[in-house]
Structure 1
Amino acid sequence: MAERSGTSPGTRQGGGFETLHAADLVSQVGERLVQAIVEGRLAPGQRLVEAELARQMGISRAPLREAARRLEQRGLLVAHPRRGFFVRELSLDEVDDLYGVRIMVESYAGRLAARHAGRKGLDELARRIAELRRLARAGKEAALVEADLEFHRSICVLSGNRRLLRLFDDMAIDVRMVIAMIDHLYDDPMVIAETHTPLLEALEGGDQAVIADAFEYHIGVAWREVRRFLAERPPSGSARDPGPPPVMPPFPRQD
């Protein structure tokens, strides 16, 4: 009888070992690092202590290092020779560039969305605001950041302009980092959720000038808060205490 040339993913081999999927493990490690960055447990400018993080997650340093390389490609981490990986810090100039473009892209997307979204599209935005409120009440910071980002992306989708959507997606990494930064500036996360209501009201009203003003105000307030935060932040390389490494739960054992 011919010997089978392979096994299906996840099947047990002759020795009784479960097949491990390194790519999946790297992705899971990456997701945990992203969550730590979004939640502020890995702060801007903080170095990743590979040995400690690997120990906490119960893994070797190899998948952790590969996950860090992927996050470097996504713009969340930066690598310094012989020093390791650090959480990327946004400069004032980068924030100014980002928010200047955001106002133009999202204001125009909002005006187009008001024309094309229809009742179904507006109801979808209302559901997303309800989800923002739910996550705020539950204190789920990482999920709140993602839901915030998706609300703004949905407006670009509803605009019907695919180039606007691509522009927004190109900014997504930096926007995600800044939204996470903003969320930590407010004691009550419900404030973040409620700031989106005037945007929906403007879209429902349909007045193009009102829509433009609503988006410029919404994004402009965030812009000012982030600039203030960065201006007050100690410069990179100063004597600030980076704090202890974040606590990472171990991955479940493969029994």
Structure 2
Amino acid sequence: MTATGPTRPPHSAAGTQATPQLAALAQDDLVNRIAQVLTEAIMKGGFAPGARLTEATIARDLGVSRAPVREAARLLENRGLVVAVPRRGFFVRSFDAADLDQIYDLRMCLERHAGGLLAGRLTPEMDTALSAQVQLLHRLAEAGDGDRQIEEDLKFHRMICVFAGNRRLLKVFDELTAETRYGIAMIGRLYDDPHEIARTHEPLLDALRSGDATSFAEASDYHIGTARQRVVAMFGPG
């Protein structure tokens, strides 16, 4: 019996296309990149509330086919930024005061619990990271970069959820982040003095350093509750 070498896998010659598995990964990456481009456009007012996301136009502008644009729109639907209307397509979601009131209500519950999990377990490395984030908020206030300050504000709160160690809590927080950021972007500045945004985070860090879960709950409720009142008031009646 003649010995034979190992069977050569199909399409393994140099210069051939990637395997289906690798092609799928590349497609997923493309969808996520398109979703990020669309998210930034929505946040910056490129698509107004109620505007239709026209697949053909977006695909042409980005130099891609319509399929990944459609998948990206579905991602934005899952994140609460667009709504799908049967036989009409995807439209940028419009928020009202009631929507944002509910978002902040859930955030208060999540972040109070996250702080309770973290209280007494704050390491020096965590403390340094959170402190650096507050200082970054001050620098962005000095630079007048309001859009970036909103992003870094939310990142501070996400860090607390990460450090709390509950992955499912973090997942829910992430699902709310796009909606929260969009709501704030629609309003503009929450505070006349952008340094006030940075200062409002300092009591949260002080409470975590104390190791007292009750102190953090009180500081968090005040911090998020104040933002909630401002946001809802700026949107007017629901």
The TM tier, using the shorter chain, reads 0.7 to 0.9
Q: Give the Cα–Cα distance (whole angstroms) in 1 for the partners of residues 67 and 193 of structure 2.
A: 39
Aligned-partner residue type, residue 152 of structure 2: A
- Report the TM-score when normalising by structure 1: 0.71
Counterparts of 1:94-113 in structure 2, within 5 Å, are: 94-113=99-118
Name the residue aligned to 1:173: 175
Provide, for residues 43-97 of structure 1, a one-character-per-residue CA deviation record: whole Å limited to 9, x for no partner. 3332213333223222333321221123223332211123221122334333333
Q: Give the Cα–Cα distance (whole angstroms) in 1 for the partners of residues 46 and 176 of structure 2.
A: 18
Corresponding residue pairs, total: 223
Name the residue aligned to 1:153: 158
Name the residue aligned to 1:126: 131
1:139 aligns with 2:145: yes
CA separation of 1:222/1:105 partners in 2, compared to 1, >3 Å: closer, same or farther? same
Structure in which a larger fraction of residues adopt helix = 2
Q: Give the conservation status (yes or no) of the 8 Å contact 1:37–1:43.
A: yes
Name the residue aligned to 1:220: 225
Q: Give the Cα–Cα distance (whole angstroms) in 1 for the partners of residues 130 and 181 of structure 2.
A: 18
Q: Give the Cα–Cα distance (whole angstroms) in 2 for the partners of residues 93 and 232 of structure 1.
A: 8
**Runs of 5+ in structure 1 lacking a partner?**
234-255
Same amino acid, percent of matched pairs: 40
CA separation of 1:70/1:104 partners in 2, compared to 1, >3 Å: closer, same or farther? closer
- Report the TM-score when normalising by structure 2: 0.75
Q: Give the Cα–Cα distance (whole angstroms) in 2 for the partners of residues 210 and 70 of structure 1.
A: 37
Give the superposed CA RMSD: 3.3
Q: Give the conservation status (yes or no) of the 8 Å contact 2:115–2:208.
A: yes
Q: Give the Cα–Cα distance (whole angstroms) in 1 for the partners of residues 99 and 159 of structure 2.
A: 24
- Match of residue 34, structure 2, among 29, 37, 44: 29
Give how far 1:219 is off. 0.4
Name the residue aligned to 1:243: none
For the pair shown, which has the larger CA radius of gyration, 1 or 2? Answer: 2
Q: Give the conservation status (yes or no) of the 8 Å contact 1:182–1:222.
A: no
Q: Give the conservation status (yes or no) of the 8 Å contact 1:182–1:225.
A: no
